[in-house]
Amino acid sequence: MKYYVKTFGCQMNEHDSQILAGILDNYTDEVMEVGSEKNELTEDIWQADIIVVNTCCIRESAETKILGYLGSLKKYKTANPNVILVVCGCMAQESGAKERIKKRAPHIDIIFGTFNLPKLQDYIREYRHYRQFIYDVTETPGLEKAVLPVHQDIQAFKGKVNIIYGCNNFCAYCIVPYVRGRERSRSIAHILDEVKAIAAAGGKEVMLLGQNVNSYGKDFSDGGCHHFATLLEEVSKVEGIERIRYMSAHPKDFYVELIDTIAALPKVCKHFHLPLQSGCNQTLKDMNRGYTTEQYWHILEAIRKKIPESSITTDMIVGFPGESESDFQETLAFVDNCAFDDAYTFLYSPRTGTAAAKREDQLPEEIKNQRLQQLLEIQNKHSLANNQKLVGKEQLVLVEGKSKNNQSVWTGRTDTNKIVNIPAAIGEIDYTGMFMPVKITTAKTWYLTGEFIR
Ligand code: SF4
């Protein structure tokens, strides 16, 4: 049996897709004969017996794009009526999604939500048996306790592990808590088992995933708030794993003692991604972010004091409803002071079902676009300046492979998550997955260039 998986959305979704693939790798049913050909992920959708679409709903535009994609799947069903079409993920979990999907893509056979990943095999078996449409978005408890197989991707030197599901924060612009439920932490034992499996398969870097990793363990019976630090210490003990990253951390829950833990653990990358979203306290309050710029600044100062070589990146949203010109000027001034290494900048776009989408003081697109340009101008200046500080220095780079845009260039990342491109000599060995010392020769806004130190 061959299957094809299409993923829309974030790193959490990409990892969920690895789990969906892992479940399908192990799929069996009574009509499959013992010794029959093994289940296999295919890159060729025309070859697939099962097509799984893992969806995202973070933006309205994402949903429109996905609905178009689901509509386009009809041709595979027409060519092969036995092919099974499955839709899951955040958009599937949304209220009213079934109707929207069935209207645009009546050929879809199975729709299930974010809580029901472990049941994929059951759905497929049931559909093969009865050939009846299946829809299941019940909020089944226990996903965090499930031990699920993970399909190993070709980048085996890197792996991802979910440490916490859901989010309790209800930021005013975000749909995630409505489609992924409340925070549920996985046990340290299960997480360590998965990290060890990644290491055993040759993995050197692991990314610990969650909507809010700092909240890890707050739902344990002792209610302690330092479980994430303990988890980092435990993951650090896993032999073979040499770099530990995490995504995402929420400034509201980023306690200063955690910086001491990270400073003391050489394997934990000295890269802090702390989504700021706005540099204006009124806008932060309207966004329901739960911190002020003063509190954010306190964390930033502590990081830079304790780990001066660290990099700090952020996410920003411009044009939130009600953001006045003076609010935005506060944001510009604050971002200028923060001097981030990089920022992922977004135009606010209303997401149906969230508090901010109901506000009447939405800003015109033109203003949002102008503000984004102003913000980028300031941020790009700091990105370049921070990168230039590394010119002439040696950095340890985990090589990820050849650059997608240029096959004569290797590309990899520093501990601080900066991209480094290294021109390759003809006939060289494959450096993919190797830690290489690199001398940085030039700096651009979004990447560095260097040469291997032989
Ligand atoms: S912390 Fe806020 S932005 Fe992040 S997932 Fe939760 S609600 Fe969404």
Q: What is the pLDDT of residues 383-392, one digit of tens each?
A: 999 999 999 9
What is the percentage of the chain residues whose pLDDT exceeds 90?
A: 85
**Are 314 and 236 found together in one domain?**
yes
pLDDT of 144 higher than 90? no
Q: The tokens of 287 are what?
A: 């966004």
Whether 277 lines ligand 1, by a CB cut-off of 6 Å, is no
Q: The tokens of 386 are what?
A: 């921070």
What would the pLDDT profile of 429-439 be if each residue is shown by its tens digit?
A: 899 999 999 99
**Are 382 and 416 found together in one domain?**
no
Task: Give pLDDT, residue 154.
Answer: 53
* Residue range(s) defining the domain that contains residue 428: 394-452
pLDDT of 34 higher than 60? no
**Are 266 and 348 found together in one domain?**
yes
Q: The tokens of 402 are what?
A: 């050849």
pLDDT of 142 higher than 90? no
> The domain that contains 178 carries what CATH number?
3.80.30.20
**Are 214 and 283 found together in one domain?**
yes
Mutate to test the pocket of ligand 1, among 13, 171, 183, 289 (most ligand atoms within 8 A of CB): 171
DSSP-derived 3-state class of residue 244: strand
**Are 110 and 148 found together in one domain?**
no
**In the predicted model, what is the mean pLDDT of residues 136-158?**
83
Task: Give pLDDT, residue 36.
Answer: 57
Domain-terminating residue out of 387, 406, 426? 387
Whether 54 lines ligand 1, by a CB cut-off of 6 Å, is no
Between the CA of 29 and the centroid of ligand 1 the distance, in Å, is 39
The DSSP bridge partners found for residue 315 are: 344
Between the CA of 321 and the centroid of ligand 1 the distance, in Å, is 17
pLDDT of 33 higher than 60? no
Average pLDDT of every residue of the chain: 94
> The domain that contains 17 carries what CATH number?
3.40.50.12160
Handedness of CA 354, 355, 361, 363 (dihedral sign): negative
**Are 226 and 362 found together in one domain?**
yes
Between the CA of 295 and the centroid of ligand 1 the distance, in Å, is 18
Task: Give pLDDT, residue 153.
Answer: 67
Cβ atoms of residues 276 and 338 within 8 Å: yes
Domain-terminating residue out of 104, 136, 168? 136
**Are 412 and 382 found together in one domain?**
no
Whether 211 lines ligand 1, by a CB cut-off of 6 Å, is yes
Query: What is the amino acid identity at position 39?
Result: N
**Are 286 and 176 found together in one domain?**
yes
Q: What is the distance between the alpha carbons of residues 110 and 24, in angstroms, rounded to a whole number? A: 15
Between the CA of 175 and the centroid of ligand 1 the distance, in Å, is 8
CB-count exposure of residue 149 (10 Å: 0-12, 13-18, 19+) = middle
pLDDT of 49 higher than 70? yes
Handedness of CA 230, 257, 171, 343 (dihedral sign): negative
Regarding predicted confidence, which is higher, 238 or 31? 238
Cβ atoms of residues 66 and 56 within 8 Å: yes
Mark residue 318 as left, alpha or beta (left: phi above 0; alpha: psi -120 to 50; beta: remaining). Answer: beta
Whether 177 lines ligand 1, by a CB cut-off of 6 Å, is yes
Atom of ligand 1 nearest to the CA of 170: 7
Atom of ligand 1 nearest to the CA of 168: 6
Measured CA to CA in angstroms, residue 293 lies from 253, 256, 278, 285 at distances of 14, 15, 8, 10
Read out DSSP for 134-188? Answer: EEE----TTGGG--------S-TTEEEEE-EE--S---TT--HHHHH-S-EEPPH
Whether 17 lines ligand 1, by a CB cut-off of 6 Å, is no
Whether 170 lines ligand 1, by a CB cut-off of 6 Å, is yes
**Are 400 and 309 found together in one domain?**
no
Task: Give pLDDT, residue 76.
Answer: 97
What would the pLDDT profile of 64-107 be if each residue is shown by its tens digit?
A: 999 999 999 999 999 999 999 999 999 999 989 999 999 999 99
Nearest partner of 397 among 342, 325, 329, 452, judged by Cα: 452
- 186: Cβ contacts below 8 Å, ≥ 6 apart: 144, 145, 162, 163, 164, 165
**Are 369 and 259 found together in one domain?**
yes
Task: Give pLDDT, residue 32.
Answer: 60
The count of domains in the chain is 3
**In the predicted model, what is the mean pLDDT of residues 443-447?**
97
What would the pLDDT profile of 332-387 be if each residue is shown by its tens digit?
A: 999 999 999 999 999 999 999 999 999 999 999 999 999 999 999 999 999 999 99
Between the CA of 256 and the centroid of ligand 1 the distance, in Å, is 21
What would the pLDDT profile of 312-337 be if each residue is shown by its tens digit?
A: 999 999 999 999 999 999 999 999 99
Nearest partner of 155 among 188, 204, 101, 111, judged by Cα: 204
Per-residue pLDDT band for 148 (boundaries 50, 70, 90) equals confident
Nearest residue (CA) to ligand 1, atom 2: 171
Q: The tokens of 148 are what?
A: 């699920």
pLDDT of 152 higher than 80? no
Whether 290 lines ligand 1, by a CB cut-off of 6 Å, is no
Domain-terminating residue out of 358, 387, 416? 387
**Are 82 and 201 found together in one domain?**
no
**For 30-39, 91-100, 135-144, which range has the lowest pLDDT when averaged over its residues?**
30-39
Between the CA of 288 and the centroid of ligand 1 the distance, in Å, is 10
Between the CA of 260 and the centroid of ligand 1 the distance, in Å, is 25
pTM: 0.93
> The domain that contains 445 carries what CATH number?
2.40.50
Tell me the pairing of strands 110-112 and 50-55.
Answer: unpaired
* Buried-exposed string 330-360: b where 16+ CB fall within 10 A, e elsewhere: bbbebbeebbbbbbebbebbebebbbbbeee
Residue 185 φ then ψ, to 5°: -85, 145
Whether 7 lines ligand 1, by a CB cut-off of 6 Å, is no
Q: What is the distance between the alpha carbons of residues 60 and 15, in angstroms, rounded to a whole number? A: 22
**Are 95 and 219 found together in one domain?**
no
